[in-house]
Structure 1
Amino acid sequence: MRIRIFGTVPPCMKCKAAEKVVRETVEELGYTDIEVTKEDALSEEAAKMGVMMTPTVVIDKTIVKVGGVPTKEEIKRAIEKIRKGA
């Protein structure tokens, strides 16, 4: 599983906070097979995904949060839902 945080470069406060929440949540869940990356919202990949606001959090190919900092609960629910294939 891959979680990407698309944000500004250099990162704004919300982008930094979103990355921190995602990394802390993954660590708390104890999953070692989840890769977390910070990516430029102005990249070609972001354009392909339709990223229009920052931060945008994407798990695999599913956008789970746009334009704000997710809560740990939002990230946990999204991870579990995607893991179950729902």
Structure 2
Amino acid sequence: VTLVQYVDDLLLAGGDEEAVRKESIRLLNFLSLQGLKVSKSKLQFVEEEVKYLGDRLSKGTKKLDPERVQGILSLPAPKTKRQIRQLL
């Protein structure tokens, strides 16, 4: 089981679902003992596919989240060099 942290986002991943489940519970208990709270609405507990840092991760694959793609597509097309630089 691997733990990845980026600022306040944590990701536990592994090939064995039961091992990931046990380590997830251990991590949640540890965070609780340290006085840290976990957002229940953001918690993705032992899922086949998860949203992490704006991407969809699943079994070794990484895809852009459809919400993020839609947000990019809804932007107006840049018309000047300055607008292109701002977009990038």
TM-score by length of structure 2 reads: 0.35
Structure in which a larger fraction of residues adopt helix: 1
TM-score by length of structure 1 reads: 0.36
Greater RCO (Cα-Cα under 8 Å, separation 6 or more): 1
